[in-house]
Amino acid sequence: MRIILRTAAIACLPVAALAQPQIDWNAPFPAHRVIDNVYFVGTEALGTFLITTSAGHILINSDFETTVPAIRRSVEGLGFEFADIEIVLGSHAHGDHMEADALVKELTGAQVMAMAEDVPALRRMRPGGKEHPIDRVLRDGDEVTLGGTTLVAHRTPGHTAGCTSWGLRVEEDGATYDVLIVCSFGVNDNYVLVGNADYPNIAEDYAATFAKARALAVDVFLGSHGFFYDLAAKHEQLANRKPGDPNPFVDRAGYLAHVSAQEQRFRTRLEAQRAAAR
């Protein structure tokens, strides 16, 4: 699929957001600790996460190049050094999530890692003519370890061929939780699910991803866009959390509901395209 990056990003958004005349991708949102060493450093529209460790930090999603100053302010506002980012990971090869990989590498010297199936699209992503750096090519199930924290790359294709959902284990109040930063399970409005010459097995990939998503151990549900996991409401609950209250981001039920909703949208669009093809 040849998708204009900002168009692809807009198509991910809910109907209410699409009704707005213009989306401010860099509208600020409070940086905050989600759980353990997982921090949100993104914007109102874009899900970006900092995984902190004693050996430096991991950034998940560099976003647009214009977003980098906001990410940097968030990282430093939390008391961390932007220059201490050692690894840059991404959700998928769309500009709203990985356009700024080269810029972040320039600023920090971090290693950029990406799922193999997204490498061709990333190679074509050259803001300002900059080559897209890829220091390590990942495969499904590969582990990325830094300072005692290990993330697992779960390939969840469909949205892109190398769409990657990142999993890790965290602790809070003596309990252990499985975190998943969801790539995207969504079907953009302009996606061709039947007879797609650029991505022939797109429908099969989506179907396999939904089955895989349900089988994953997920307690803490996060994602590459905040609306996936109801960021605003959960952040408000977090701000008003009292001792003994559960962490609002621990939400397996919400995760499974999101998977079901996206699968229903996929199957509806698939059947419509199959009918049109007939």
Long-range contacts of 121-126 (CB under 8 A, 24+ apart): 121/93, 121/160, 121/161, 121/162, 122/93, 122/98, 125/5, 125/93, 125/95, 125/98, 125/99, 125/101
- Cα torsion 59, 61, 62, 66: sign: negative
* pLDDT the model gives residue 22: 75
d(CA 34, CA 49): 9
pTM assigned to the model? 0.93
CA distance 185 to 102: 26
3-state secondary structure of 167: strand
- 3-state secondary structure (DSSP) of residue 178: strand
Q: What is the pLDDT of residue 180?
A: 99
Taking only the tens of pLDDT, the chain with its 278 residues reads: 333 334 444 444 443 333 344 789 999 999 999 999 999 999 999 999 999 999 999 999 999 999 999 999 999 999 999 999 999 999 999 999 999 999 999 999 999 999 999 999 999 999 999 999 999 999 999 999 999 999 999 999 999 999 999 999 999 999 999 999 999 999 999 999 999 999 999 999 999 999 999 999 999 999 999 999 999 999 999 999 999 999 999 999 999 999 999 999 999 999 999 999 98
C-alpha distance from residue 209 to each of 203, 228, 253 (Å): 10, 16, 18
pLDDT of residue 23: 83
CATH topology for 5-277? Metallo-beta-lactamase; Chain A (3.60.15)
Q: Which DSSP letter does residue 118 get?
A: G
